[in-house]
Structure 1
């Protein structure tokens, strides 16, 4: 069955059950809500539901509850979700509360107000036998709101209310996806603009489907026009020329109310239909459309980066937070008390997540992000720790420095690792002035740290790619001992990437597969068709944390965002999904196979917009919520060590898992 084969909600069991409640032409008012004036005399609240929550992080205890409303103003319908105020905690059906600690600035950040339903492309519902019901609202631009969890039920009433006010049809490809405002031909546009009482044309047979010669990728199906509040945005639609052969008598009767211009247009359409048969074309998915940035790299390898004119619209996150300026020294000091302790590590990590860190204070801030300094340590404790760690480092370094040439001849593993490190460091980031030139002492320090680490973690040793991870840390820290211990902390998280059995990489690739399946099923199906579900084309992204995909300064900005673990320990996986979704149209339109896809992904290096990708990843992470985290097996890199997890994330509520 093709994606265009849709049907209305009349055959939906939930909707049918709701009709038995004698709603008639009246509107749902959940929780006994009545009409309310929303700032204008013609405003009417047609749906209200309390205890509808979003999950800005993966932790259930940090959910934010609020009130979801549908408000009618004239012929238009708007959706609003407002979090409860500080101290007004929502209570779910299990008696648990939320919002107990939400700040006013966060409340304003997550407020969703007056979203026109005309801008909504589709709504995905999920009503599991066990667990909470939720919906995902996707706009025509492809951007999705955070998932709405209905802790006290109400999804059925929400959809039934929409049915009375907007054109809503269920996709036959996925019974849980409901398409809104799915009108594409001039005949149906005219009908919807009349704001007539409910009309259900009986378009049947092969002639019922309208297709466009100009845009063969689109496909038409039967129409449902709701109450007088029905409307259609009609943006960026191509005019269609092949109307259906059979139009029901009911529709023809309604057409007596159409203006002279509309009647003439209709007559012309019927005349064209005498000589043109309806054609069938598979409809392309409209959700999650992103700009196609690269030019035809295979045909013209040196072509400059150019946006696709049909996909140029890049809307920002409709609910998320704009990227901010980097954390500066004054703000940094404000997070510490008189003795140097970080007073609110979560607020600090959040601030860095949205803005990064000014380069002048990176040497201090990175030590906390990487776990070299505990957040609750004082100035004096950190100074003492630095002296102790420096002595430990010198002892470790002396182990390989004391090996004589005679010993080295009998120490095969040492010779192999030393030779591999010497080959790698001389070609690591030599375009950066910090490592440029012959006999550069920084290259020597890079070599010494890597060789010392191979003795510190002798089981893992050294693998290609580690120099890429160490290089920016040495560039920021400058100090050899502090760089080493920060690198050790990073490798505690990313070490499994370099396991001989590649268990860490396979775990991440599997997680990426499941996240794409969850967040972009058309792309997942395409990869399945092309035998690309191993996701090896993303191997370099994951192995060295996008080190070779961005400019050096952008890499440091990205890494400090990832190290906050603010929304998720595995935010880099959502970043992978965001980049793939951004280029999905190009990948599928050019029918890339694995080899072509691998070449394309590698050539994206230097052409990915970091800030846009971070915002896309934030939206996807919030949209996926706990379902996204469930896709990631425990222990998947870069999971923190257990002891670090317990100290950094003490606010996690185990009862809500």
Structure 2
């Protein structure tokens, strides 16, 4: 507990069960513009149960300017303000002068500045952080946004804006500002940030997704991208012909399960997104294309082959790209990130579920402890979310926006895990209040499909990622999928094209 630097001023006794976790004397306000007219008092942070309160009581009988009456002191007295009513704390540490803070309430009102003539602002914020959920604003490093201690991410009950507000999708005029005259993206980080906060209008998805997935390099020109499409189309058709013409005995030895996997592909494709007009109806040619791409990938990547769920990941890509070769190579790029999800030993999924458990332990320890007590610590109820990146949880348009946000890798390449935490936290009270066991929890999670607020999840996930910071990154073991490619594999081809 923080100790006062002065004990000559008495304070009222605390309520039963309350604990003073911070105490600072000589914290002062200035009710007027006159420096001589000030009121000093004692600032406390008091924890009672799971709640944190702030009090500031002016000293009695203090010799001050006659213009300040006892009524003035009573007017500014803060008896007990719960931090659930606090929106933010603004810290001011001028080079010359005294440090002070401004406490802004959820209503928009603010208390007068509190001046710390004997220091203590850093300790005040450090103590507060131990007991309430606070996150530094992205817009101003001296602003600390406050949330409720008991259920830190109940954003629907608050009017706070965490970090940067969501924006409309990236449109044509703005998209053009990111490109130079030859089509190069001039600032890939700025582009990824913009997409992270708003997504992309559908008409540009074909071009943008190829960049986000790493199929095209951000610094490639229009001409280089067009040339790449041409060469990659030839390469794709060569691979496709190999399996269409029949597998040789030598190939059969390398990949004895190809025919079995081809049969699995045929069964899965006819069940994939048939409610969507793009795949609806009998003899739909897009289903044949979907089947051919997966079969070609199966032949292209002997080691991984085909696993159930891959058709779910390819379907939106084909819907956006509307080109067989382009879809194939974008799918190849995606599988370089998500391929470990389909490892037969489930190592890729287990590493992500382990990382998720560590993040929940960090960001919602009561819920993590509940899972631990109820044999749910393997987090397998989140398996589908991670395996196919929430494919079955959102309608198509929202899913596409979610995927392009995740693919930016703007704040973290593991934003999908923070999205998992955000959803679990939103249903924290229901899960614990209804005492769900594993089977009930799995049923509950599956039935959330189509009922999850995407904007809220993205906002919450961003806040959680920022709040977790280095501790969150340290909770995710190195190599946990998806991981960013070190270099675009088509860079060599681009360089060859440019020298022709």
Q: Which TM-score band applies after superposition, normalised by the shorter structure?
A: 0.7 to 0.9
Question: Post-superposition shift, 1:402?
Answer: 1.4
**Given the two structures, how large is their TM-score scaled by the length of structure 1?**
0.57
Which of the residues 578, 581, 596 maps onto 2:425?
Answer: 581
User: Counterpart in 2 of 1:612?
Assistant: 456
**Given the two structures, how large is their TM-score scaled by the length of structure 2?**
0.74
User: Counterpart in 2 of 1:603?
Assistant: 447
Query: Where do residues 242-321 of structure 1 align in structure 2 (5 Å cutoff)?
Result: 286-288=150-152, 290=154, 314-321=157-164
Whether the 8 Å contact between 1:136 and 1:145 is mirrored in structure 2 is no
CA deviation vs aligned residue, 1:385-434 (integer Å, no higher than 9, x gap): 11111111111111101117999999741211110100000100000000
CA deviation vs aligned residue, 1:535-589 (integer Å, no higher than 9, x gap): 0000000000000001111110100000011111100101100100100101111
| In 1, Cα distance between equivalents of 2:92 and 2:286 | 52
Which of the residues 334, 341, 344 maps onto 2:187?
Answer: 344
User: Counterpart in 2 of 1:75?
Assistant: 77
- The answer to whether residue 221 in structure 2 is matched with residue 378 in structure 1 is yes
CA deviation vs aligned residue, 1:231-284 (integer Å, no higher than 9, x gap): xxxxxxxxxxxxxxxxxxxxxxxxxxxxxxxxxxxxxxxxxxxxxxxxxxxxxx
User: Counterpart in 1 of 2:203?
Assistant: 360
Question: Post-superposition shift, 1:436?
Answer: 0.5
| In 2, Cα distance between equivalents of 1:615 and 1:139 | 23
Q: Number of paired residues?
A: 415
Whether the 8 Å contact between 2:6 and 2:25 is mirrored in structure 1 is no
| In 1, Cα distance between equivalents of 2:39 and 2:231 | 68
Q: Which runs of 5+ in 1 are unaligned?
A: 1-11, 48-69, 89-111, 120-131, 152-157, 159-178, 181-284, 292-312, 648-657
Whether the 8 Å contact between 2:153 and 2:460 is mirrored in structure 1 is no
Query: Where do residues 73-222 of structure 1 align in structure 2 (5 Å cutoff)?
Result: 74-76=76-78, 80-81=89-90, 114-116=103-105, 135=126, 144-146=134-136
Whether the 8 Å contact between 1:554 and 1:610 is mirrored in structure 2 is yes
- The answer to whether residue 455 in structure 2 is matched with residue 446 in structure 1 is no
| In 1, Cα distance between equivalents of 2:32 and 2:129 | 24
CA deviation vs aligned residue, 1:91-110 (integer Å, no higher than 9, x gap): xxxxxxxxxxxxxxxxxxxx
Are residues 580 and 45 of structure 1, via their aligned partners in 2, closer, same or farther at CA, if it must alter by over 3 Å? farther
| In 1, Cα distance between equivalents of 2:34 and 2:76 | 10
Are residues 386 and 522 of structure 1, via their aligned partners in 2, closer, same or farther at CA, if it must alter by over 3 Å? same
Query: Where do residues 537-556 of structure 1 align in structure 2 (5 Å cutoff)?
Result: 537-556=381-400
| In 1, Cα distance between equivalents of 2:213 and 2:33 | 50
Whether the 8 Å contact between 1:424 and 1:467 is mirrored in structure 2 is yes
Whether the 8 Å contact between 1:509 and 1:536 is mirrored in structure 2 is yes
Provide the alpha-carbon RMSD of the alignment.
4.0
User: Counterpart in 1 of 2:319?
Assistant: 475
Q: Which runs of 5+ in 2 are unaligned?
A: 10-22, 43-55, 59-74, 96-100, 109-122, 492-500
| In 1, Cα distance between equivalents of 2:433 and 2:242 | 57
| In 2, Cα distance between equivalents of 1:431 and 1:139 | 49
Which of the residues 249, 259, 278 maps onto 1:415?
Answer: 259
| In 2, Cα distance between equivalents of 1:369 and 1:319 | 25
Whether the 8 Å contact between 2:423 and 2:457 is mirrored in structure 1 is yes
Which of the residues 485, 489, 499 maps onto 2:343?
Answer: 499
- The answer to whether residue 461 in structure 2 is matched with residue 459 in structure 1 is no
